[in-house]
Structure 1
Amino acid sequence: MNPQPVSLEAMLQDTAELGGEVFQICDYPPLETFTDAELDRVRDAADELGLILELGTRGIGPRHLDQYLRMATRLGAPFVRSMIRPAASEPTLDEAPGLLARVVEAYADRGVVLGLETYEQLPTDVLVDLVRRVDHAALGIVLDPGNCVAALELPRDVVAATAPYVVNLHVKDFAFSRRGGWVGFTYAGAPLGEGLLDYDDMVRQVRPRERGINQVVEHWLPWTEDIATTCRLERQWTQHNLDYLRSRNS
């Protein structure tokens, strides 16, 4: 853990300095404790930096998604990412379509889109079927094909299956490397263009520029020898990946 954690405001500043245009506050539980005044300060900071805010969480419980809709509205965020968790406290897959249909009506009324991320915990065809059954413009899929490899799904197949329903992209590259002694593999992140992600094919199928879909840089950054070196490497990867995206989308 970083002994000097970066504040949310500093993350926004770094994003602007690196030339980013969108910042997704994703899997950041402290946000749920923010007062309206604190949320307003985050929105003001993003506005001053010219950044679009998005939110990210986990779970599809109606109360939880209602909370994130309220925060998204306060922050001026037009998008919320979530994911279906296989937990006893969560709605079942049988309950999910009806619950989501009611939730996304409220999201649509406030101009917010909800996206469910591809993950190894849920087969891609099940996720696609759920989105099809709800059949609402305010519900779609957050595509991250690297997540599904752990379920033995090929990234290219995941892209093809989800492309018509994608509303947000998590862009990260990934690669396998042999473990010490050549026993097994490590599956970890890689700088964009240096791993197994066929980025050009993904963009060809999803057409993010034509459809107004934001591309959010994400890392599976391997740990190095210490926190300072790891943080420097993270910034290098972020700059590299942003430059890569600009070179492919200009």
Structure 2
Amino acid sequence: MRTPTSTATIGLSSYAFFWQLSGRVSEPLSIHQALERTAALDVDLFQICDYAPLESMSAAELKDVRTTADALGIALELGTKGIRPEHLRRFLRIAGILGSPLLRTMFNVPGHTPSAEDAIAIFREVLPEFEAAGVKIAVETYEQVLTARILDVIRRVDSPYLGICSDPANTVAALEPPREVIDAVAPYVLNMHIKDFAFSRKEGWVGFTYSGAPLGEGLLDYDYMAGKLQPKERNINQIIEHWLPWQDSEEETIRLENQWTQQSIDFLRSK
């Protein structure tokens, strides 16, 4: 596997290909094709995040993904949802095959909404195995669990192998202001999800839609976030995602998805 450089690496998430990897399009990309697209954009980091087919892949199929990434010079990171011990251990094995040094996750999944005490006990149980494997866990900020509660767990576990995946776009739905979240999580960030966001009036001015925006055109104060989190100085990878709504056609959706990806890459490289 290619080792990321000593400064922050710009990467693409599978969410940057959300529609193109989905069954909504007539010819969905395979994960191998997404890696090829990533390499064609001169990006050398790819985070396979919440990609359902991964869990059903055999060890041989996972090794094939690693082989493709290695051949293209792409480092891999891994993302999932949930913190049940058996689930985390399953993804630790997957991370080992893919060569991922990081597992992004979220606390809640259907059927399991752990309390802070539950989460602390789980992380204390599994983290020695993650530390032995050299894999860190980054818990993403999102609307289902208040940031203060996530931070309480991380502080009480107190391990360099447990931290935050910062995504201030998610927390707006819990009425948590992005700047306050950025300030709070800054010392604990291990990974950054980069996507812009905006409100728009619904038809007839009845309410709002909260959705994605091309990076640099929405409400994300990237300069403030980068100043607080210091990704270059702290070697925190920045992973590009999108909240792109489905457009009027498959062709337009794919065109815009690719356009937003290129704009995001150009934006981050200009900083």
TM tier, smaller: over 0.9
Separation in 2 of the partners of 1:127 and 1:56?
A: 17
Separation in 2 of the partners of 1:19 and 1:117?
A: 26
User: How far is the alpha carbon of 1:102 from its aligned partner?
Assistant: 1.9
- Asked whether the equivalents of residues 141 and 166 of structure 1 are also in contact (C-alpha less than 8 Å), the reply is yes
Amino acid at match of 1:226: S
Amino acid at match of 2:241: E
Where do residues 91-240 of structure 1 align in structure 2 (5 Å cutoff)? Answer: 91-240=114-263
SS in 1 for 2:265: helix
SS in 1 for 2:78: strand
User: How far is the alpha carbon of 1:19 from its aligned partner?
Assistant: 1.9
Q: Is the counterpart of residue 39 in structure 1 residue 39 in structure 2?
A: no
User: How far is the alpha carbon of 1:80 from its aligned partner?
Assistant: 0.7
TM-score by length of 1: 0.97
Separation in 1 of the partners of 2:233 and 2:92?
A: 26
C-alpha deviations, 1:99-138, integer Å up to 9, x for none?
A: 1122121111111111100010011111111110111011
TM-score by length of 2: 0.89
User: How far is the alpha carbon of 1:89 from its aligned partner?
Assistant: 3.1
Separation in 2 of the partners of 1:2 and 1:223?
A: 10
User: How far is the alpha carbon of 1:40 from its aligned partner?
Assistant: 0.9
Partner of 2:50: 27
C-alpha deviations, 1:182-208, integer Å up to 9, x for none?
A: 110111111111000000111111111
SS in 2 for 1:238: helix
Match of 1:53 among 64, 76, 85: 76
Separation in 2 of the partners of 1:231 and 1:11?
A: 13
Distance 1:32 1:88, change over 3 A: closer
- Asked whether the equivalents of residues 81 and 109 of structure 2 are also in contact (C-alpha less than 8 Å), the reply is no
Q: Which runs of 5+ in 1 are unaligned?
A: none
User: How far is the alpha carbon of 1:29 from its aligned partner?
Assistant: 1.4
Q: Which runs of 5+ in 2 are unaligned?
A: 1-23
Question: Which of 63-72 and 45-54 deviates more?
Answer: 45-54
Q: Is the counterpart of residue 17 in structure 1 residue 40 in structure 2?
A: yes
Partner of 1:81: 104
Which runs of 4 or more aligned residues in structure 1 lie more than 2 Å from their structure 2 counterparts after TM superposition?
A: 86-93
Q: CA RMSD in A?
A: 1.0
SS in 1 for 2:117: coil
Separation in 1 of the partners of 2:177 and 2:113?
A: 27
C-alpha deviations, 1:218-241, integer Å up to 9, x for none?
A: 000022111111011000000110
Give the fraction of aligned pairs with identical amino acids, expressed as a percent: 52
Separation in 1 of the partners of 2:240 and 2:110?
A: 28
- Asked whether the equivalents of residues 86 and 121 of structure 1 are also in contact (C-alpha less than 8 Å), the reply is no
C-alpha deviations, 1:46-92, integer Å up to 9, x for none?
A: 11111110111000000000000000001111111100106443543
User: How far is the alpha carbon of 1:28 from its aligned partner?
Assistant: 0.7
- Asked whether the equivalents of residues 144 and 171 of structure 1 are also in contact (C-alpha less than 8 Å), the reply is yes
Distance 1:148 1:90, change over 3 A: closer
Separation in 2 of the partners of 1:3 and 1:93?
A: 43
- Asked whether the equivalents of residues 61 and 90 of structure 1 are also in contact (C-alpha less than 8 Å), the reply is no
User: How far is the alpha carbon of 1:243 from its aligned partner?
Assistant: 0.7
Separation in 1 of the partners of 2:110 and 2:116?
A: 11
Distance 1:132 1:109, change over 3 A: same
